[in-house]
Amino acid sequence: MAITNNVTRLLDSKKIKYETFELPPEKLGALETARLLGISGSIVFKTIVVTREKKKPLLCVIPGPTEVDLKAVAAVVAEKKVHLPSQKEAETLTGLLAGGISPLALINKGFMVFLDESANQFEAIHISGGQRGLNIKLPVSALVSLTNARIAKISAPSAESAD
């Protein structure tokens, strides 16, 4: 029995082709998700909440092996500085548990969405389905159109992924 939630209902209502993958219900990172699914970490994108001064936070959707480039994000939104909130703050800001934060679950909630330009090299990518334990593979074009995502170079190689 496939998981059904607001995200899958939205995709169904828009007649968007997607695949769902059930995962363990605990918080998993993008690379761990990729390992469990037996796919490349570069097509599993994670959603990172980024805060800015006195404005609504941003959602930055970046490949698993990378981290948000805060200077690049600040430049894209013409801010001096942007910040990474704590996990608890990100959960409070979005109303979603870390590991389940998804731009598709936050449509019409006022968040600007930025998608790393590396997504353009793929027809489809994997993102969170809006709850822990649900991963969704969908066309990049559908993600961009549904979320009005802006494409920009917003990630950098992760310090953890460097040898």
Q: What is the pLDDT along the chain (163 residues), one digit of tens a residue?
A: 578 899 999 999 999 999 999 999 899 999 999 999 999 999 999 999 999 988 899 999 999 999 999 999 999 999 999 999 999 999 999 999 999 999 999 999 999 999 999 999 999 999 999 999 999 999 999 999 999 999 999 999 987 654 3
134: in domain = yes
5: in domain = no
Return phi, psi of residue 118, to 5°: -65, -20
Return phi, psi of residue 66, to 5°: -115, 175
Q: Which two tokens stand for residue 146?
A: 């549904």
55: in domain = yes
CATH label of the domain that carries residue 117: 3.90.960.10
Do residues 61 and 73 touch, judged by C-beta distance below 8 A?
Answer: no
6: in domain = no
What is the predicted pLDDT for the residue at 3? 81
163: in domain = no
pTM: 0.94
93: in domain = yes
d(CA 159, CA 67): 8
What is the predicted pLDDT for the residue at 158? 83
Do residues 22 and 5 touch, judged by C-beta distance below 8 A?
Answer: no
37: in domain = yes
Domains contained in the chain, number: 1
52: in domain = yes
- Residue 136 structural domain: 18-157
User: What DSSP element (H or E) covers 93?
Assistant: helix 87-94
What is the predicted pLDDT for the residue at 159? 73
